[in-house]
């Protein structure tokens, strides 16, 4: 796999949100400053995403979320091998590698940007049974039909909730594409579950986690990855069974005020 010359800023980054962190990429005698969320630029360079987040910052979230999905389903007496998974915020497909190891029956990736689908086809061809590029906050009829046809009974979303990525409405719309009784496994930054945090997303997530729409089977605090200063960033990994569709009015007022 191709390697890149990257350099993180020397200054402390504590005041920056995760999506605001930048790094310098040196290539062909030029230096480009990119943000962690410049996914188009990152995905179009094979191996850059993996080098930053998985090699250097030691992200372990896809493996963690897959492992809690496996243990939760096993303990409930369900099989992972029959699961039909919607992987929301699929990016270049790292979660699909983990889901393939679990032997899930079908995996469909969804992402909002075409460059994610292109990178996935380039680097992990064939891992997803389908990959749909769409906006789940405003789902067009064709994409809705395509997704509904898969009859999903599992939703995964890894390292994609909050921080300018997947908004509450997109997550809830994906949640509602899963049949009741299906599995949901995802991760969130630990502060989203803390009661002194009052962002729209943390409120929605707490409603979801602590009310009746999701029956929690596994909740675990773990080290998601390192910050660029080498500090651990903690997340919760959550796996549970969906009990019912989430009414959209749970998120629409919050979404309108975003
Ligand atoms: C940090 S990456 C995580 C990718 C992958 N799940 C992983 O663990 O490596 C976040 C992904 O979420 C996608 N994303 C952001 N907003 C989204 C939205 N509204 N709907 C679907 N995907 C979105 C981004 O395009 C990006 O590919």
Q: Whose CA is nearest to atom 27 of ligand 1?
A: 91
- Find all residues with CB under 8 Å of 175, minimum gap 6, and list them: 155, 184, 208, 213, 242, 245, 246
Instruction: Summarize pLDDT for 25-63 with one digit per residue, the tens.
Output: 999 999 999 999 999 999 999 999 999 999 999 999 999
Which among 96, 78, 74 has a CA at the least distance from the CA of 87? 96
Mean pLDDT value of segment 104-119:
98
Mean pLDDT value of segment 1-21:
78
Q: Whose CA is nearest to atom 15 of ligand 1?
A: 165
Q: Is the CB of 113 under 6 A from ligand 1?
A: yes
Is residue 94 pLDDT above 90, yes or no? yes
pLDDT at residue 15, as a whole number? 63
Instruction: Summarize pLDDT for 136-183 with one digit per residue, the tens.
Output: 999 999 999 999 999 999 999 999 987 778 988 999 999 999 999 999
Q: Does domain 61-256 have CATH number 3.30.1370.60?
A: no
Is residue 256 pLDDT above 50, yes or no? no
How is the chain split into domains, by residue range? 5-56, 61-256
Instruction: Summarize pLDDT for 217-250 with one digit per residue, the tens.
Output: 999 999 999 999 999 999 999 999 999 999 988 8
41, 55, 112: residue to mutate for ligand 1 pocket, most atoms within 8 A of CB:
112
Is residue 14 pLDDT above 80, yes or no? no
Distance 211 CA to ligand 1 centre (A): 26
Cα distances (Å, whole numbers) of residue 142 to 66, 85, 133, 168, 203: 29, 19, 11, 22, 31
Mean pLDDT value of segment 88-92:
98
Q: Is the CB of 57 under 6 A from ligand 1?
A: no
Mean pLDDT value of segment 110-131:
98
pLDDT at residue 257, as a whole number? 41
Q: Cβ distance 241 to 182 under 8 Å?
A: yes
Instruction: Summarize pLDDT for 205-214 with one digit per residue, the tens.
Output: 888 877 789 9
Distance 110 CA to ligand 1 centre (A): 8
Q: Is the CB of 133 under 6 A from ligand 1?
A: no
Distance 39 CA to ligand 1 centre (A): 9
pTM score, whole prediction:
0.94
Ligand 1: which atom is nearest the Cα of residue 36?
A: 1
CA distance 132 to 146: 8
**Higher-confidence position of 106 and 196:** 106
Distance 158 CA to ligand 1 centre (A): 8
Ligand 1: which atom is nearest the Cα of residue 62?
A: 8
- Find all residues with CB under 8 Å of 133, minimum gap 6, and list them: 110, 111, 112, 113, 114, 116, 117
Is residue 254 pLDDT above 70, yes or no? no
Mean residue pLDDT of the chain comes to: 92
């Amino acid at each position: 796999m191709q390697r890149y010359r990257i350099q993180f800023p020397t200054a402390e980054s504590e005041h920056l949100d995760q999506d605001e962190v930048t790094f310098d990429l040196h290539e062909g005698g030029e230096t480009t400053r990119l943000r962690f969320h410049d996914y188009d630029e990152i995905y179009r360079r094979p191996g850059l995403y993996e080098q930053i987040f998985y090699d250097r910052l030691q992200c372990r979230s896809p493996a963690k979320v897959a492992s809690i999905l496996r243990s939760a389903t096993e303990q409930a007496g369900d099989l992972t091998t029959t699961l039909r998974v919607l992987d929301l915020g699929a990016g270049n497909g790292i979660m699909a590698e983990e889901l393939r190891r679990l032997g899930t029956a079908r995996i469909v990736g969804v992402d909002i940007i075409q460059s994610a689908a292109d990178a996935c086809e380039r680097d992990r061809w064939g891992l997803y049974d389908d990959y749909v590029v769409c906006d789940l906050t405003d789902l067009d009829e064709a994409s809705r039909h395509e997704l509904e046809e898969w009859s999903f009974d599992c939703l995964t979303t890894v390292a994609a909730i909050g921080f300018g990525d997947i908004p509450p409405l997109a997550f809830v719309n994906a949640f509602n594409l899963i049949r009741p009784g299906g599995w949901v496994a995802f991760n969130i930054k630990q502060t989203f579950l803390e009661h002194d945090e009052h962002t729209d997303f943390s409120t929605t997530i707490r409603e979801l986690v602590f009310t009746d729409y999701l029956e929690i089977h596994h909740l675990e605090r773990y080290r998601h990855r390192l910050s660029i200063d080498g500090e651990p960033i903690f997340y919760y990994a959550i796996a549970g069974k969906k009990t019912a569709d989430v009414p959209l009015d749970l998120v629409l007022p919050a979404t309108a005020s975003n």
